Amino acid sequence: MAKEFQEEAVLSTDIKEYPLYARGKVRDVYDLGDKLLIIATDRISAFDVVLPNGIPGKGKILNSMSVFWFEYVSDIVPNHLIAAEVELYPENLQKYRAILEGRSMLVKKARRIDIECVVRGYISGSLWKEYVLTRKDSKGNTVEVKGIKFPASLIESAKLPQPIFTPATKASSGHDENISFEQMCRVCTMRWPIEQCFEEGKSELGMDHYEHRSWPAWHRHMTFVFMAQLFLLRVRHSLKKNSGIDAATSHSDVNDYLAQSIL
């Protein structure tokens, strides 16, 4: 049996050298001055309720997944990760190695954008509840929920015609609340105008031909942009792994590589 599952679940932590900055549903966060120490515990949160029992090793898996993606896309999107190896932490944290190893990360302090980003391929959960309530008062063949139109004939957990982006508030406690894309734009205090972010994203993805006329138009194409970026990540990974081409590959190099792969 794996070592993680022979250990008892870590439900809480107590790092006496630093003040507790926040205790969420799963993670404990400590204030190190200009940095934060984030510890993923083994607590279980279901439907916004923290259950009394944990799952041994769960926090280590969550932490490993986060570290992987932060490192994998770090050359595309800067992030707050400083280190996830305990030996790189301050000296006074070394005595907590048994707790910190594999389930913690040292990060830069950053301003959090309190939005939960959700992409759905099926209608279920909170979206299904809102859909049912709205459908009762709707007329015609469509139902509009948070600015998105759905066929009025959907059943619970039905596959949607295409994936949709449904943001929600990121609540510190209690339930997150689904909001529209326009509401998300209003509640976000972003460092750069969202129009500039979109224009830069189009350029990075080679989508300069796409004319951005309105927020609804941007919303309809968000899924396409997301999928295109994932596709380019896979191409970049293949180039690094199989052909030794540097990560800063031009569009022509990518096209040549794709053409060779297809042929």
Q: Are 79 and 72 in contact (CB under 8 A)?
A: no
Token pair recorded at residue 126: 């909170």
Strand, coil or helix: 164: strand
pLDDT digits (tens, 9 = 90+) for 87-120: 999 999 999 999 999 999 999 998 777 888 888 9
Token pair recorded at residue 176: 């997150």
- Which class in CATH covers the domain with range 116-189? alpha beta
* 250 pLDDT above the threshold of 50: no
Per-residue pLDDT at 174: 61
pLDDT digits (tens, 9 = 90+) for 201-215: 555 555 555 454 444
All residues at 6 or more sequence positions from 170 whose CB lies less than 8 Å from its CB, including other chains: 112, 114, 115, 116, 176
Domain definitions of the chain by residue range: 3-110, 116-189, 191-263
Per-residue pLDDT at 97: 97
3-110 topology per CATH? Phosphorylase Kinase; domain 1 (3.30.200)
Please, which pLDDT band fits residue 248 given cuts at 50, 70 and 90? very low
